[in-house]
Amino acid sequence: MEDIGNLLHGFAVALTWQNLLFMLVGILLGVLIGVLPGLGGANGVAILLPLTFSMSPTSAIIMLSCIYWGALFGGAITSILFNIPGEPWSVATTFDGYPMAQQGRAGEAMTAAFTSSFVGAFVAVMVITFLAPLVARFALKFGPPEYFSVQFLTFCSFIGMSREPPAKTIAAMMIGFALAAVGLDIVTGQLRMTFGTTELLQGFDFLIAVIGLFGLGEILLTMEEGLAFKGAKGRIDAKVVWETWKKLPRYWMTSLRGCLIGCWMGITPGGATPASFMSYGMARRMSKDKDSFGNGNIEGVVAPETAAHAAGTSALLPMLTLGIPGSPTAAVLLGGLLIWGLQPGPLLFVEKKEFVWGLIASMYLGNIVGLLIVLTTVPWWAAILRIPFSIIAPVIVVICAVGAYTVHNNLFDVFMMVVFGVAGYFFKKLRYPLAPLVLALVLGDMAETSFRQSMLLSGGNVSVFWSNGLVGSIMTLALVLLLWPLISRGLGAWKQRIRAAEDRAA
């Protein structure tokens, strides 16, 4: 139990008053960054990185990882209140979080989101603490075929959950894929669908589409339905936290599943965004009450939030032990480590014990401090819904514009955001599902790249996806999930026939 001793020593490092102050500042900054769409965790950490050069590496990484925590927490707030995901991994939170807010349950949704985030992150930190060396090696097994299989699994776990007409579901998904393909193709270095314009070189960022489709589209819908937010009447007081907490233990299974999916996706590293989608998809599949998903089911908030945060946190593990960033933010933190002269890798745990365990201890503390801070602010956030619509609507549009701009510092993106907003309005009213579009947009490029890398490695041989136990079992699992509706129907028919045969025999 040398680790425990190290951890306690780490607490001693992290628990100086300066470091606690940095933690507090970091969390607050992070929440702010998370709330502003576009200015995501990765940008936020990158922007603030230079400020930390004059600090000691331990204090600096504590503050930066607290910014990361804060951004993870903060992303959920705008998703729930305004249907604008502040971060890519909060998209799945909007599916049920926003309907809850519309029903006047914004406080409940936020409490559930924050608490689930906390649980997910906490479990992931424990995994880091006790399984670090063991688990880290696992990530090395992941080559392109394995990555593709995980991305394929995410699709398969999410697909088939749409109630919308199949043709429209396919159309929505294909729009997502098509948008994802715009820009530079990483495998051949060719430009795709840019038609000679410089504006399209960057491709369509997922966040711009999401801010438009969800955020602006929702404002337009709200305008049509009258100049008011639904759910403004919701009761707001601090008690909502306790009342929600009383309910939450019921969803321990969803939570546990979220933690498992999240930790696995963070370590492999598949990333927080796919993890949140996968967890949401699985929660819905496993639920007895499938139709309540998308209409304000609290489980639909618990599942993606737990997974996103478990993934976001465990993504720090491959970063520290192998130098592979499991998320864009982790990539920026990695840059910070290098600048301070700390080389991530297996030896970091041996040579810079103080730093590593200080960081891990600060993860525990930062997470707890973060939860306390965001929970106390729940009533304030919920109160935003009470601001008259004619004030908040233009402010939201401004925030959307700023968000769209800061993604790539490009005005063209702001125009595209408006186009996506109009598209979102039409799609929503014509029952084109937005979730498959968004999923395809975020995963399409990655999945295609992994697939083609696999093909390069195997010389164009598709059997590479069943070339070893790991990739084979993930692919098989994915196919089973994809075909499950058919399989279960087939099984049912078969059973019936047997029963009929037995009856006849008898």
Partner 1 sequence: MSENANGEAGGPGLRTRWVELAVALLIMLGGAVVVFDSMRIGAKWASDGPQAGYFPFLVGCALILSGLAVVVGTLRHWSRLAGSVFVEYDRLKPVLTMLVPTVVYVIAIRYLGIYVASAVFIGAFMVWKGKYGVVPTLSVSLGVPIVMFALFEIWFLVPLPKGPLERMLGY
Partner 2 sequence: MNRTAVARAAVAAALATAAAGWQAPALAAWEPTKPVEFVVPAGTGGGADQMARFLQGVVAKHNLMKQPFVVVNKSGGAGAEGFLEVKNAKGDPHKIIITLSNLFTTPLATGVPFNWKDLTPVAMLALDEFVLWVNAESPYKSVADYVAAVKAGDNGKFKMAGTGSKQEDQIITVALEKAIGKKFTYVPFKGGGDVAVQLVGKHVDSTVNNPIEAIAHWRSGALRPLCVFDEKPMPYPDKVTATQAWQDVPTCKSQGLDVEYTMLRGIFMPAGVTQDQVDFYVNLFKKVRETPDWKEFTRNGAYNNTFMTGKEFVDWVGKAEVKHKQLMQEAGFLAK
Residue at token pair 């993930």: 474
Candidates 25, 55, 178, 368: give the one binding partner 1 (CB under 8 A): 178
**228/455 with CB nearer partner 2:** 455
**DSSP state, 183?**
E
**216/373 with CB nearer partner 1:** 216
Q: Does 419 bind partner 2 (CB under 8 A)?
A: no
Candidates 331, 422, 477, 482: give the one binding partner 2 (CB under 8 A): 331
Residue 195 burial by Cβ neighbours in a 10 Å radius (0-12, 13-18, 19+): exposed
Q: Does 201 bind partner 1 (CB under 8 A)?
A: no
Q: Does 239 bind partner 1 (CB under 8 A)?
A: no
Cα separations in angstroms, 297 against 114, 290, 374, 485: 16, 10, 22, 23
Cβ-based neighbours of 346, under 8 Å, separated by 6 or more = 133, 136, 321, 322
**CA–CA gap between residue 137 and residue 143 (Å, rounded):** 13
Q: Does 323 bind partner 2 (CB under 8 A)?
A: yes
**Taking the complex as a whole, how short is the minimal distance between the CB of residue 270 and partner 2, in angstroms?**
13
Which option in partner 2, partner 1, none does residue 406 bind, with CB closer than 5 to 8 A by kind?
partner 1
Which option in partner 2, partner 1, none does residue 224 bind, with CB closer than 5 to 8 A by kind?
partner 1
Query: Which residue intervals of 182-251 are DSSP H helices?
Result: 206-210, 217-224, 239-247
Residue type at position 245: W
Candidates 1, 166, 167, 189: give the one binding partner 2 (CB under 8 A): 189
Contact call for residues 260 and 309 (beta carbons, < 8 A): no
Q: Does 368 bind partner 1 (CB under 8 A)?
A: no
Which option in partner 2, partner 1, none does residue 480 bind, with CB closer than 5 to 8 A by kind?
none
Candidates 140, 238, 398, 487: give the one binding partner 2 (CB under 8 A): 140
Cβ-based neighbours of 196, under 8 Å, separated by 6 or more = none
Contact call for residues 74 and 309 (beta carbons, < 8 A): no
**DSSP state, 288?**
S
Interface with partner 1 (CB under 8 A): 32, 39, 43-44, 47-48, 165, 167-168, 170-171, 174-175, 177-178, 181, 185, 187-188, 190, 192-193, 195, 216, 219-220, 223-227, 388, 390-391, 393-395, 397-398, 401-402, 405-406, 409, 411, 414-415, 418, 421-422, 425-427, 429-430, 432, 448, 451-452, 454-456, 459-460
